[in-house]
Amino acid sequence: MNESERARRIVAKFGGSSVADAASIKRVAARIVAAKQAGNEVVVVISAMGDTTDELMDLALQVSPQPQPRELDMLLTTGERQSAALLAMAMNDLGVEALSYTGSQAGVITTAQHGNARIIDITPGRIEKSLEEGYVVIVAGFQGVSQTTKDITTLGRGASDTTAVALAAALGADVCEIYTDVDGVYTADPRIVKGARQVPRISYDEMLELAACGAKILHLRCVEYARREGVTVHVRSSFSNKPGTLVTGLVDMQKGNAMEEAIISGIAHDRGEAKVTVAGVPDQVGVAAMIFEVIAECDVNIDMIVQNVSEVATGATDITFTVPMSDGKKAVDALNAAKDRIGFTELRYDDQIGKVSVVGVGMRTHPGVTAKFFGALAAANINIQMISTSEIRISVVVGADDVDAAVRAAHTAFGLDSVSGEAVVYAGTGR
Ligand code: ADP
Ligand code: ASP
Ligand code: MG
């Protein structure tokens, strides 16, 4: 946001590391005031301060090993309410009237699923009215209210991004600005790859794939929402005035565009999955279906799957798959409960893994991407545990300790290393 820009309607989201303490809240307030005074209508979506959400989660687990989902959501949403109110106070002191709203007050209507609710509607009447009256509106991110139960819900970790894009769509905003602790979207996480390159533009499809593979710079559902509603997302740092990255529809291939002729748009990693191995499964029709029905019934998403060749002696096979680590216990408990029905001999669980993915729409037409990726991992002495591919992605599971080295090896192998200096990480603990 700068003063030379024409008057627009802007939704600006500030992440937790941008509002980690009182001084940061004042700094962000000043930035928003400048945007407002330039004549823009401004809606701010705010995350909880620093690592507040993690700390609230830790606190809940100290009180109760398995907190009730409804109460956990009541607790976690206080993080965003706190930062929203503080930001409004700081702005009012700077002479710009601001009103903070909870997600529910802002009209964020969701499904009833605690911890991972989806936005089904936005009724932004109150926001529209406040904008008309000249206020800057500050909305607590990551939360809403269930249409059916009327209970307070959260939208999943990192979902303030999704609140922002959904509001931008509902309010017909010109742009959704996502302010964070790095200068935009890079070819890999700059916390791991110092020589990662920032890209000026990236297409929805590529950003979607990177986010789906774990690049936490944007919440996956935020990118889905932006693509569906055609919202331009502008990722930039709240600590600098650098131009950032535009996430848009078609990326033009003009000269000077960093994406020009790129085969690979980036390397993503994900430490949030665990590996479940169902060993000694009878190699018979219908058994795999039975296993995955059990997992589906407990509402756990499966990512990668590998089935081994059955052993001649026993006629049994092993099926290995990955699930979100947070759902690991649920999946294991459900399978153990169905042990006799499925007929397996052993269940193994391993959360010391990570997934590393090479993403790029250009790889469709370039053979040899897999060979190059695996060659780079071999040269770095990294063992591959699982593999999965799509038209525009290759993912491998490696040991948790190998994730950083694998990301760096792939980044270098695909010629993504920057020639113009190191990426800056301004804040945040990376938690
Ligand atoms: P916020 O608190 O602003 O929501 P997040 O921690 O959720 O910030 O997301 C920003 C972080 O995403 C960066 O600090 C960086 O470590 C990480 N990240 C992962 N992949 C990428 C990528 N490809 N480009 C930029 N940042 C990335
Ligand atoms: N505070 C929430 C979280 O830490 C939501 C967000 O930051 O986007 O997951
Ligand atoms: Mg985030």
Residue 204 confidence (pLDDT) above 50: yes
Atom 6 of ligand 2 has which residue's CA nearest to it? Answer: 158
Reduced to 3 states (helix: H, G, I; strand: E, B; else coil), residue 388 is: strand
Phi, psi of 72 (to 5 degrees): -60, -40
**Rounded to the nearest whole angstrom, what is the distance from the C-alpha of residue 141 to the centroid of ligand 3?**
11
Atom 10 of ligand 1 has which residue's CA nearest to it? Answer: 217
C-alpha 264/C-alpha 365 separation (Å) is 11
If pLDDT is split at 50, 70 and 90, which confidence band does 419 have? confident
The percent of residues in the chain predicted with pLDDT above 90, rounded, is 85
The helix or strand, by DSSP H or E, that contains position 137, with its residue range, turns out to be: strand 136-140
Atom 9 of ligand 2 has which residue's CA nearest to it? Answer: 157
**Rounded to the nearest whole angstrom, what is the distance from the C-alpha of residue 182 to the centroid of ligand 3?**
11
What's the pLDDT tens digit per position in 54-93?
999 999 999 999 899 999 999 999 999 999 999 999 999 9
Write down the mean pLDDT value for the chain. 92
If pLDDT is split at 50, 70 and 90, which confidence band does 260 have? very low
Q: What is the mean pLDDT of residues 265-288?
A: 93
Half-sphere exposure of 2 (CA within 13 A, CB side): 5
If pLDDT is split at 50, 70 and 90, which confidence band does 197 have? very high
What's the pLDDT tens digit per position in 165-182?
999 999 999 999 999 999
Overall pTM surpassing 0.95 (yes/no): no
Task: Give residues (CB < 6 A) around ligand 2.
Answer: 15-16, 47-48, 53, 79, 141-142, 157-160
Look up residue 362 and give its DSSP letter: G
Residue 16 confidence (pLDDT) above 70: yes
The percent of residues in the chain predicted with pLDDT above 70, rounded, is 95
Look at residue 256 in the predicted model and tell me its pLDDT. Answer: 42
Top mutation candidate among 14, 189, 236 for ligand 1, by most atoms within 8 Å of CB = 189
Q: What is the mean pLDDT of residues 354-382?
A: 93
C-alpha 329/C-alpha 338 separation (Å) is 14
**Rounded to the nearest whole angstrom, what is the distance from the C-alpha of residue 344 to the centroid of ligand 1?**
40
By CB atoms closer than 10 A (0-12, 13-18, 19+), residue 274 is: buried
Look at residue 257 in the predicted model and tell me its pLDDT. Answer: 46
Task: Give residues (CB < 6 A) around ligand 1.
Answer: 15-18, 47, 158, 180-182, 185-186, 188-191, 210, 215-217, 266, 425, 428, 430
